[in-house]
């Protein structure tokens, strides 16, 4: 399993389709074939490859709009990467982005990073990945 690192990689995956949604997350997918993903950035032959390995690629998008504190954003990303590693054998060779699309209620999760928040995020990301595995 590889991690998405560049803006161009994220944009290429987000240009694909949404394969699963939960209350707080969306799973975007783009296949790693020549038709679905631009393999090179730009048109020159010396440009960098977007996806140099045919493997499962995963990225996490947790915008400040939905998670104000950096500690919360980092905790959510760690849960996303941890759960996606568990599901890597079920997914095809494609690129995926897990995107936070709404905030967790601050009244329910008072602390910026609590065990309750981590468990809620983990359970929801597991449900998202299971739904994505069925769709993929």
Domains and CATH numbers, the chain: 2-135 (3.30.230.10)
Q: What is the pLDDT of residues 25-46, one digit of tens each?
A: 999 998 876 544 444 455 433 2
Indicate the pTM of the whole model: 0.83
Instruction: Determine the Cα–Cα distance for residues 103 and 51; give it in Å rounded to an integer.
Output: 30
- Whether the per-residue pLDDT at 62 is higher than 60: the answer is yes
CA distances from 110 to 80, 114, 116, 118 (A): 21, 8, 10, 12
Which pLDDT band holds residue 94 (cuts at 50, 70, 90)?
confident
Q: Within 10 Å of residue 79's Cβ, how many Cβ atoms?
A: 22
CA atoms within 13 A on the CB side of 56: 16
- Whether the per-residue pLDDT at 123 is higher than 90: the answer is yes
For 1-27, the three-class secondary structure string (H helix, E strand, C coil) is CEECCCHHHHHHHHCCEEEEECCCEEE
Judging by beta carbons within 10 Å of its beta carbon (0-12, 13-18, 19+), is residue 31 exposed, middle or buried?
middle
Q: Select from 110, 99, 107, 101 the least CA-distant residue to 72.
A: 110
Alpha-carbon torsion angle 65, 58, 38, 34, nearest 10: -150
Tokens at residue 75, please? 């905790």
Q: What is the pLDDT of residues 44-59, one digit of tens each?
A: 332 347 887 778 899 9
Instruction: Determine the Cα–Cα distance for residues 90 and 112; give it in Å rounded to an integer.
Output: 32
């Amino acid at each position: 399993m590889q991690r998405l690192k560049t803006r161009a990689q994220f944009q290429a995956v987000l240009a694909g389709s949404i394969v699963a949604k939960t209350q707080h997350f969306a799973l975007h997918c783009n296949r790693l074939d020549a038709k679905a993903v631009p393999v090179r950035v730009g048109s020159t032959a010396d440009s960098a490859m977007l996806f140099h390995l045919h493997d499962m690629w995963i990225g996490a998008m947790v915008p400040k709009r939905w998670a104000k504190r950096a500690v919360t954003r980092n905790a959510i990303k760690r849960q996303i990467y941890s759960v996606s590693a568990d599901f890597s054998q079920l997914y095809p060779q494609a690129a995926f982005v897990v995107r936070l699309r709404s905030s967790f209620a601050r009244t329910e999760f008072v602390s910026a990073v609590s065990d309750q928040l981590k468990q809620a995020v983990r359970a929801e990301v597991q449900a998202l990945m299971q739904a994505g595995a069925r769709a993929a």
